[in-house]
Amino acid sequence: MDKQKFSKHVELKKIKITDPFWLGETELVRKEVIPYQYEALHDRIEGADKSYAIENFIKAGRVVSALKNGEEVPVYPADKWCYDDNNAHPDAFHGWVFQDSDVYKWLEAVAFSLSDCPDAELEAKADRVIDLVCGAQLENGYLDTLYVINNRSGIFSNLKDFHELYCFGHLSEAAVAYYKATGKRKLFDAACRFADLICDTFGEDKIKGYGGHEIAEMALVKLFDVTENKKYLDAAEFFINERGKKPYYYDTVLGRETVYDNYHYNQAHCEPRKQHEAVGHAVRGVYLYSGMADVAKRCGDDELYSACKKLVENIIDKKMYITGGIGSTVDGEAFSFDYDLPNDLAYAETCASIGFVFFARRMLEIAPDADIADAAERAIYNTVLSGMAQDGKSFFYVNPLEVLPEASHKDSRKRHVKPVRQKWFGCACCPPNLARLISSIGEYCFTENDEALFVHQFIGCEAKAENADIKISSTYAENGRVTIEIRPEKEITLAVRIPKWCGKYTFSLPCEVKDGYAYFRISDEATLEAEFDMQAKLIKCSNRVRENTGKVAVVRGPFVYCAEEADNGKNLQMLRISKEPDFRCDGDTVIADGFREKEDGALYSEWSEAEETPVQIKLIPYYKWGNRGENEMCVYIRI
């Protein structure tokens, strides 16, 4: 690592989003998603699966009071991943083992939203939720409603499958965000108390365990960044160093030899610094890698950074859909092998792309890297935004690149591929994760150090960086135009990413171009006009990906496009796009010349050139698919 290249992101508090495209999304989160999710967490959405999340905190609060009063508290089983009305006592914990995290993600989204847009009523609601959360904390700092309600003696007994360290991570992330947004310490103090307990419990000469679902690593670094208490950083480092060591902790607990898969699913098959291929549950993976990058930077750990580099390259070069989706198999919601990127069987969970964006920013804070920033952009504008309906009321977990509704209904292999977005899920990780990413999108625009201010993403905003005020006026999503007004406090370098998707670009100021960034020396107030050519393009996927040989995708600027049945009729596989498709734009719709094959009558027949009719293929941005009821969709089209 070259410490000269280190930078840090500009804090959300110092950024005001003004971008017309992004204001639409952030307002949707503020006005629709956050209130909707508040109702969902309180089980007040008709027709949606019950969350039980708030109810669990209320129950846990009762247990805490009873314990304080020395009352007898019953014990319930804590041995399953999910507890519903049929298999749990009414007074016991309900929902998934990680249900608490939904409340934390909601609180974090609220915090981000309050940063940008104060709202006393919303803050009051959040404070009430925080009271419930803090009321559920045991005296020793422990806070996880499953074990608080059901069985205090089971605490930290099954780190692999149950999510105490995961919920701790989300609690801490929410606490840091809420503290930064409001200055209120109640939740932050609760998180620190839980963190202290964790530091006392895990470590050399203590329990040598680590969470089955990573996030505690990066959360502890956030606590460290705010408190500067080194024990939190040490704990994060400990969790990373201990992971995957043999004999496996998880085996030691169970008192057996590994019989299953050596814990690839949990990225615990080997030590993280020896991991060079992204494997296992994709969300867990990118959360771990985020924590690894955090620790590598703060501890100056080159070996760990080297692993992070190899992992991010493996993902970008061999395991990422063109839409920025990662984790191509439903089985284990996991990374598959290199170049295994099936379109119709894709998992590509919304949360995994969100996690990739976290990982990417941390890598950019270690060193600028246009490939990583490009991949993050692709993820943000496609798979992440695709996760939410245009009305903010329904959500995709899974983001396939090809959908045939009949297959989703009739073919069990594609049961995970939903042709329309779903209401709040019982296992609702994605919607609140989306809310927190979108409402903090400003944090992904810039990184800065003493010498330079980097613009990684082009989102219209006004920001107060350390050494400069910067204002971005952007119609980037619409036409690739960006105006950057900068008022430096001293001479600095402004570094602007040049998106890889644009062949042509113009800058109004002289610059030096290097490794995908344009570097401008700025000594005084300046205005930079940048234009990135948004001409739609045919993009091919490597012929190592078996599904896409002979096919292309259409990409325009940061957006990947797709064809839907609503515009192009059934049987999208019968479409063929012209090699010179004469792209026309109509708003954000792209029209391309192409052909439609006549339907074959016989299942098998002697080959002859297909009978085709010229057609205009209408393409819409991928993130907008599935907003017009069930219909076929595909990203790749034959050429």
Which one of 3, 413, 487, 584 is in contact with a copy of itself (CB under 8 A)?
413
DSSP β-bridge partners for residue 371: none
The answer to whether the beta carbons of residues 17 and 26 sit under 8 Å apart is yes
Q: In the bound complex, what is the minimum distance in angstroms from residue 540's beta carbon to a copy of itself? A: 4
Which one of 72, 586, 599, 614 is in contact with a copy of itself (CB under 8 A)?
599
Q: Which is nearer to a copy of itself, 121 or 606 (CB)?
A: 606
Kindly identify the residues of this chain, within the stretch 337-396, that bind a copy of itself according to CB under 8 A: 337, 339-340, 344-345
Which one of 461, 552, 590, 617 is in contact with a copy of itself (CB under 8 A)?
552
Q: Tell me if 256 contacts a copy of itself by CB under 8 A.
A: no
Q: Tell me if 606 contacts a copy of itself by CB under 8 A.
A: yes
First-last CA distance in the chain: 44
Q: Tell me if 259 contacts a copy of itself by CB under 8 A.
A: no
User: C-alpha distances in angstroms, 176 versus 183, 185, 383?
Assistant: 10, 9, 27
What does the alpha-carbon distance between residue 617 and residue 619 come to, in Å, rounded to a whole number?
Answer: 6
Which one of 86, 153, 523, 605 is in contact with a copy of itself (CB under 8 A)?
605
Q: Which stretch binds a copy of itself (CB under 8 A): 1-9, 69-77, 222-230, 566-574?
A: 566-574
Q: Which is nearer to a copy of itself, 412 or 523 (CB)?
A: 412
Q: Tell me if 86 contacts a copy of itself by CB under 8 A.
A: no
Place of tokens 């930064």: 180
Kindly identify the residues of this chain, within the stretch 33-62, that bind a copy of itself according to CB under 8 A: none
Kindly identify the residues of this chain, within the stretch 303-342, that bind a copy of itself according to CB under 8 A: 316-318, 320, 322, 329-332, 336-337, 339-340
Give me the 608-627 binding string for a copy of itself, x by CB under 8 A, dash otherwise: xxx-----------------
The answer to whether the beta carbons of residues 293 and 305 sit under 8 Å apart is yes
Q: What is the 3-state secondary structure (H, E, C) of 210-279?
A: CCCCCCHHHHHHHHHHHHCCHHHHHHHHHHHHHCCCCCCHHHHHHCCCCCCCCCCCCCCCCCHHHCCCCC
Q: Which helix (H) or strand (E) holds 180?
A: helix 164-182
Determine whether 547 is an active site residue.
no
DSSP β-bridge partners for residue 615: 594
Which one of 452, 545, 563, 615 is in contact with a copy of itself (CB under 8 A)?
545
Which of 171, 218, 138, 139 lies closest to 53 in space, CA to CA? 171
Determine whether 429 is an active site residue.
yes
Q: Tell me if 16 contacts a copy of itself by CB under 8 A.
A: no
Which one of 546, 584, 613, 616 is in contact with a copy of itself (CB under 8 A)?
546
Give me the 495-534 binding string for a copy of itself, x by CB under 8 A, dash otherwise: --------x-------------------------------
What does the alpha-carbon distance between residue 436 and residue 115 come to, in Å, rounded to a whole number?
Answer: 12
Examine residue 272 and say whether the peptide bond preceding it is cis (omega within 30 degrees of 0).
no
Q: Tell me if 412 contacts a copy of itself by CB under 8 A.
A: yes
What does the alpha-carbon distance between residue 375 and residue 513 come to, in Å, rounded to a whole number?
Answer: 19
Which one of 13, 152, 540, 628 is in contact with a copy of itself (CB under 8 A)?
540
Which of 142, 155, 135, 159 lies closest to 54 in space, CA to CA? 135
Angle between helices 120-135 and 164-182 (to 10 degrees): 140
CA-CA-CA-CA torsion for 327, 328, 333, 334, nearest 10 degrees? -60
Q: In the bound complex, what is the minimum distance in angstroms from residue 339's beta carbon to a copy of itself? A: 8
What does the alpha-carbon distance between residue 110 and residue 174 come to, in Å, rounded to a whole number?
Answer: 9
Place of tokens 């113009």: 506
Q: Which is nearer to a copy of itself, 71 or 406 (CB)?
A: 406
Which one of 252, 527, 543, 613 is in contact with a copy of itself (CB under 8 A)?
543
What does the alpha-carbon distance between residue 280 and residue 269 come to, in Å, rounded to a whole number?
Answer: 10
Choice among 134, 308, 351, 429 that is catalytic: 429
CB atoms within 10 A of CB 501: 21
Choice among 333, 443, 448, 632 that is catalytic: 333
Q: Which is nearer to a copy of itself, 356 or 454 (CB)?
A: 356
Which one of 410, 490, 514, 584 is in contact with a copy of itself (CB under 8 A)?
410
Q: How many residues bind a copy of itself (CB under 8 A)?
A: 57
Q: In the bound complex, what is the minimum distance in angstroms from residue 319's beta carbon to a copy of itself? A: 9
Q: In the bound complex, what is the minimum distance in angstroms from residue 267's beta carbon to a copy of itself? A: 16
Which one of 88, 138, 541, 619 is in contact with a copy of itself (CB under 8 A)?
541
* Residue 187, CA atoms < 13 Å, CB-side half-sphere: 30
Which of 176, 204, 163 lies closest to 115 in space, CA to CA? 176
Q: Tell me if 276 contacts a copy of itself by CB under 8 A.
A: no
Q: Which stretch binds a copy of itself (CB under 8 A): 80-88, 401-409, 442-450, 505-513?
A: 401-409
Backbone angles phi, psi at 517, to 5 degrees: -120, 145
Which one of 303, 544, 616, 629 is in contact with a copy of itself (CB under 8 A)?
544
Structure tokens at 246: 């043999």
Q: In the bound complex, what is the minimum distance in angstroms from residue 276's beta carbon to a copy of itself? A: 16
Q: Which stretch binds a copy of itself (CB under 8 A): 177-185, 208-216, 301-309, 606-614?
A: 606-614
Which DSSP string do the residues of 74-89 spell out, in sequence order?
-------SEE-TTTS-
Q: In the bound complex, what is the minimum distance in angstroms from residue 555's beta carbon to a copy of itself? A: 8
> At residue 612, what is the residue type?
E
Q: Which is nearer to a copy of itself, 157 or 571 (CB)?
A: 571
What does the alpha-carbon distance between residue 473 and residue 18 come to, in Å, rounded to a whole number?
Answer: 8
Angle between helices 302-318 and 370-378 (to 10 degrees): 50
Q: Which residues are known to be catalytic?
A: 333, 429
Interacting residues with a copy of itself (CB under 8 A): 316-318, 320, 322, 329-332, 336-337, 339-340, 344-345, 402, 404, 406-407, 410-413, 503, 537-546, 549-550, 552, 571, 573-574, 576, 579, 597, 599-610, 638-639
